[in-house]
């Protein structure tokens, strides 16, 4: 909670102006709670952050804040902090940024340096001289100092393939590096203005994922990063199609069996411990939504138990192909797909074999 509070407070610079007033407001939030009311304390702090860290903040305000040349701007520092939280390695290196960003014990040169992905001299040669563009934080990445000196003023279309060959970086490893540094694949060939726009959005996503890693936005829907790794986009799409198909079966079966009571029956079929998280997730449901839209707010892993309900499974099984071992196969497949889905959604590297296994278990139209 404290890590999340520090991260969110520094990201939004909420104490940078009128700090005494902000402190007083925060103290007032928690003054009414008893010392034993830990949940109330946590809710108060998360509520304070939630007033600023809305959906629009992540997709609009933060992206705009990253359009800066100030390397110590809150958004710029938050991106580096997010990379540390997520265990990022330096670009063109297997060394973690957490280690490389530590001050050196001796010597004047740090192990990691902020490198211009599109070098200054190269941009100048193409008439791009405005400091706000050349030194924008979206044009910087942490690399080992040796790689930085090798890159020099070469075009990225020239130095990227050279370094990949020199360091034996294959497509999977390169895809992971690009994901960790918020770089779109084939970024080195993009128009510079397009590159900056693309990267700012991905940097904001990385910051948001790190905030979630610290426990923020617990009830928010997962992010959808099609840029994660080579092959992951196709896997994600198949998983989405499978989820959509299963939710469609669940909706159709419950509507046919229970009519107007379908939404209530689907909620009652959940274990008691899972109803609280669902109720919190439903707060994001638009006003006026039809009751059975509750199905869209279930986790993938919650769908099989609802289909397995005693008075439901026979009907559901027919929709899913009618195989005698359909229940076991469905449970096993979802058990393997759901973790891969969550790892992709949280921008974590997924073993290549697990990716292949997940896509083989996620046909476009589910058939048990």
CA-based torsion, 18, 19, 22, 24: positive or negative: negative
Contacts of 197 (CB under 8 A, 6+ apart): none
What are the beta bridge partners of residue 112? 144
Q: What is the dihedral of CA 140, 143, 146, 149, to 10 degrees?
A: -10
Q: What is the pLDDT along the chain (368 residues), one digit of tens a residue?
A: 899 999 998 998 888 778 888 888 888 888 888 888 888 888 888 888 888 888 889 999 999 999 999 988 999 999 999 999 888 888 888 888 888 877 655 544 444 567 899 999 999 999 999 999 999 999 999 886 566 566 777 899 999 998 888 889 887 788 778 888 999 878 999 999 999 999 999 999 899 988 988 888 877 766 655 444 555 666 777 777 888 889 999 999 999 999 999 999 998 888 888 888 888 878 777 778 888 988 888 888 889 989 998 889 988 988 888 888 888 888 888 888 888 777 666 555 566 677 667 767 665 444 44
* Predicted local confidence at residue 228, as pLDDT: 47
The two tokens of residue 200 are 């700012």
Q: Of 241, 192, 269, nearest to 341 (Cα)?
A: 241
Question: How far is Cα 326 from Cα 67, in angstroms, rounded to an integer?
Answer: 52
* Predicted local confidence at residue 71, as pLDDT: 87
Whether 150 and 159 have beta carbons less than 8 Å apart is answered as: yes
Neighbours of 149 (CB within 10 A): 11
The two tokens of residue 224 are 């959808």
* Predicted local confidence at residue 145, as pLDDT: 57
The two tokens of residue 329 are 């196969």
- Quick one: the chain helix, strand, coil %, rounded to 5? 65, 5, 35
* Predicted local confidence at residue 285, as pLDDT: 79
* Predicted local confidence at residue 345, as pLDDT: 63
What secondary structure does DSSP assign to 76-96, as a single string? HHHHHHHHHHTTPBPBTSSSB
* Predicted local confidence at residue 232, as pLDDT: 62
* Predicted local confidence at residue 368, as pLDDT: 42
Buried (b) or exposed (e) across 235-269, using 16+ Cβ within 10 A? bbebbeebbebbeebbbbbbbeebeeebbebbbeb
What are the beta bridge partners of residue 141? 115
Cα-based angle 129, 181, 119 (whole degrees, multiple of 5): 25
What are the beta bridge partners of residue 143? 91, 113
Q: Parallel, antiparallel, or unpaired for β 112-116 and 140-144?
A: antiparallel
Q: E-strand spans in the chain?
A: 112-116, 140-144
| Distance of alpha carbon 297 from the chain centroid | 18
Query: Which residue pairs from 32-39 have beta carbons closer than 8 angstroms and sit at least 24 positions apart in sequence?
Result: none
Neighbours of 60 (CB within 10 A): 12
* Predicted local confidence at residue 111, as pLDDT: 46
Which runs of consecutive H residues, i.e. helices, occur in 189-325?
Answer: 192-213, 232-258, 262-268, 272-281, 303-307, 313-319
Q: What is the dihedral of CA 94, 351, 224, 47, to 10 degrees?
A: -70
Question: How far is Cα 285 from Cα 293, in angstroms, rounded to an integer?
Answer: 8
Question: How far is Cα 361 from Cα 91, in angstroms, rounded to an integer?
Answer: 33
């Amino acid at each position: 909670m404290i890590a999340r509070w520090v991260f969110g407070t520094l990201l939004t610079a909420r104490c940078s102006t009128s700090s005494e007033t902000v402190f007083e407001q925060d103290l007032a939030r928690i003054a009414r709670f008893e010392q034993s009311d830990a949940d109330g304390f946590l809710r108060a702090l998360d509520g304070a952050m939630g007033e600023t860290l809305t959906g629009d903040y992540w997709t609009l305000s933060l992206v705009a804040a990253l359009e800066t040349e100030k390397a110590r701007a809150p958004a710029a520092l938050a991106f580096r902090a997010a990379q540390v939280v997520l265990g990022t390695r330096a670009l063109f290196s297997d060394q973690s940024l957490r280690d490389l960003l530590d001050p050196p014990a001796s010597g004047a040169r740090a192990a990691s340096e902020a490198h211009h992905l599109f070098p200054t001299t190269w941009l100048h040669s193409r008439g791009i001289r405005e400091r706000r563009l050349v030194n924008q934080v979206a044009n910087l990445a942490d690399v080992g100092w040796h790689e930085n000196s090798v890159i020099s003023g070469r075009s990225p279309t020239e130095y990227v393939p050279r370094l990949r060959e020199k360091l034996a970086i294959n497509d999977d490893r390169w895809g992971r590096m690009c994901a960790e540094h918020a770089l779109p694949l084939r970024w080195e060939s993009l128009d510079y203005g397009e590159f900056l726009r693309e990267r700012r959005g991905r940097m904001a996503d990385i910051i948001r994922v790190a905030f979630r890693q610290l426990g923020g936005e617990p009830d928010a829907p997962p992010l959808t990063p099609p840029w994660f790794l080579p092959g992951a986009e196709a896997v994600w799409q198949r998983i989405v199609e499978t989820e959509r198909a299963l939710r469609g079966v669940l909706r159709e079966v419950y509507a046919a069996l229970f009519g107007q009571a379908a939404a209530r029956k689907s909620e009652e079929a959940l274990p008691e411990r899972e109803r609280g998280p669902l109720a919190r997730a439903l707060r994001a449901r638009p006003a006026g939504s039809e009751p059975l839209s509750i199905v869209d707010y279930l986790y993938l892993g919650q769908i099989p138990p609802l289909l397995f309900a005693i008075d439901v499974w026979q009907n559901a099984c027919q929709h899913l192909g009618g195989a005698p071992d359909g229940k076991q196969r469905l449970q096993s497949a979802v058990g393997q797909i759901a973790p891969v889905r969550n790892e992709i959604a949280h921008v974590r590297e997924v073993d290549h074999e697990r990716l292949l296994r997940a896509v083989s278990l996620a046909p476009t139209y589910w058939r048990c």
